[in-house]
Amino acid sequence: MADTATKSISIPDNASFISDFPILKREVNGHKLVYLDNAASAQKPKKVIQAIEDYYFNEHSNVHRGIHYLSQLATDRYEAARERMRKFINAESTKEIIFTKGCTDGINLVAAAFAKAHLNKGDEIVITEMEHHSNIVPWQMACADKGAKLVVARVDDRGMIDMADLKSKLSDRTKLVSVVHISNALGTINPVKEIVAEAKKFNAYTLIDGAQAAPHGGIDVQDIGCDFYVFSGHKMYGPTGSGILYGKESVLEDMPPYQGGGEMIKTVTFEKTTYNELPFKYEAGTPNMAAAIGLAAAADFMDDFGIDKIAEIENKLLAYATERLSQIEGLRIIGTADSKTSVLSFVVDGTHPSDIGSIIDKLGIAVRTGHHCTQPLMDKYGLPGTCRASFAAYNTLEEVDLLTNGVKRAVKMLR
Amino acid sequence: MAESIQEREQEIIEEFEFFPEWMEKYEHLIELGKSLPLIDEQYKTEDNLIKGCQSRVWLHADREDDSIKYSADSDAIITKGIIALMIRVLNDQKPDDIINADLDFINKIGLKEHLSPTRSNGLVSMVKQMKFYALAHQAKQ
């Protein structure tokens, strides 16, 4: 290596963690893969892949309806996964755990059902400037439908929510506040507990978009006090097409169903249908059992290694990467909040993020470039997008060195 | 008589044979990108902007007798290098030939991934737009 830093930092031993991920051994463009696109989707450990395989090899049948052995077995496994995910976010009851396709699916479910039940003309929904498109567009659609207004709270230059501005935008008209727990573009950890408490002063409902928080674990929905919490499985080492919508039981009871079909009904006649109880009321059709079981395996996997150890590794990787990349002349880190997860967004003067991304891809390094589905935030900062390196606990300090050298090389070519 | 589209494509393919390594290839593209005459500022408008998820491209076309002259720009330099190649191939060509060009040379010089419809860097839309201008020009003739 042309340029190796004397490391000012060391991380806990993660060799066993790394060896759990088969894909990390592969090569890309003649180099060993350096996967730093974890905020987009994390790779899958053997435990998750095997749980899915076992399910299809030995346990699959349709759930909640069979009299036969396999149907009961699949139901038991599926419901055990629900209990596992209840525990993962410390919800009070499994009635509050709805399996979804992912975070976007969860927000759309809430936006549709909540709007039907509670949203009226002149009402307001408050979001922030740092929301992902999936926490903007469903609310725009609901507002357009109901004649309600979308109100946007400011984010400051370092990428933190301007709490004074947010508070000033809450009023008796506020029906719901929907905020991202951790920003996918900046890594900012938002003070969601405080935001929920502020919203409650106006009896507003609250939704927290936990897509980027789930991979780090330690979520406690009762402590946060939110009405809804949504996240995807695939960012927390689980399968794609898996996700959780948490909703307070009383709040979910007060909303109508989202989709109609099998599973979600109690009785059906052509005149009238009565709906099933929670959580089944919101799970129309045969669910994705394999994904739910894989997701529960991912939660086990994270706990087996240790949430604290995962956090320590990620935080140290972020600190080291911040230190190393900051040494590159003209490199500017976008998102310098006090409290951050392992997301490092940056731009380099005189270069375009997509050029840097294309060049380091040739070195086997995977980062995300572009607007990260947060166009309003990029527009606010006057950026065409950023390069984003996002670290998981299977990354290493050596990979941070490879990233740094790769970016240096790209910048040299581009300037 | 200008060289045909195919002749120009062949020229570029031969030119890129000098750069077997990806790095040399990219360096060459970056040089080409830097040498691309900038689009006249007056044409760098919202109307001429092709938005991609990764980078932005501006494209303008002027009609000259029976052929078309393109000028373009991008905020990303590698994208701009590929645009330079496209313009080299398609400029001053007859609308009919532009519409029917398969532009397979991008594939042959090993830059296929940049023209993938899923890459969303504006290039695919740019090629469509170039052909669209040719079609519009042909209709007017």
> For residue B23, which residues of chain A lie inside 8 Å, CB to CB?
362, 413
Task: Dump pLDDT digits (tens) for A259-306.
Answer: 999 889 899 999 999 999 999 999 999 999 999 999 999 999 999 999
With CB atoms and an 8 Å threshold, state whether B26 touches A354: no
Task: Dump pLDDT digits (tens) for A342-358.
Answer: 999 999 999 999 999 99
Sheet holding A228-232, edge to edge: A97-100, A243-247, A228-232, A205-209, A174-180, A124-128, A149-153
pLDDT of residue A317: 98
CA–CA separation, A26 and A34 (whole Å): 10
Interface ipTM: 0.87
Which CATH entry fits the domain spanning A15-41+306-414: 3.40.1440.60, 3.90.1150.10, 1.10.10.10, 3.40.47.10?
A: 3.90.1150.10
With CB atoms and an 8 Å threshold, state whether B77 touches A414: yes
pLDDT of residue B138: 82
> For residue A371, which residues of chain B lie inside 8 Å, CB to CB?
53
The phi and psi torsions of A316 (rounded to 5 degrees) equal -70, -35
pLDDT of residue B38: 72
Q: What is the CATH number of domain A49-303?
A: 3.40.640.10
Of A217, A220, A228, give the one whose Cα is nearest residue A306.
Answer: A217
Chain centroid, CA A168 distance in Å: 28
Which CATH entry fits the domain spanning B5-140: 3.30.300.30, 3.90.1010.10, 3.40.50.2300, 3.30.70.560?
A: 3.90.1010.10
CA distance B53 to chain A (A): 6
List all residues 6 or more positions away from A268 whose beta carbon is below 8 Å from its beta carbon.
none
Q: List average pLDDT for each run of 10 residues in chain A, which is 415 residues long.
A: 62 97 96 97 98 98 90 96 98 98 98 98 98 98 98 98 98 98 98 98 98 97 98 98 98 96 90 93 96 98 97 97 97 97 97 94 95 93 95 98 98 94
Give the 3-state secondary structure of residue A346.
Answer: strand
CA–CA separation, A255 and A117 (whole Å): 5
Domain positions in chain B: 5-140
**What spatial distance separates the first Cα and last Cα of chain B, rounded to whole Å?**
20
CA–CA separation, A367 and A390 (whole Å): 8
Domain positions in chain A: 15-41+306-414, 49-303
Question: For this structure, is B53 an active site residue?
Answer: yes
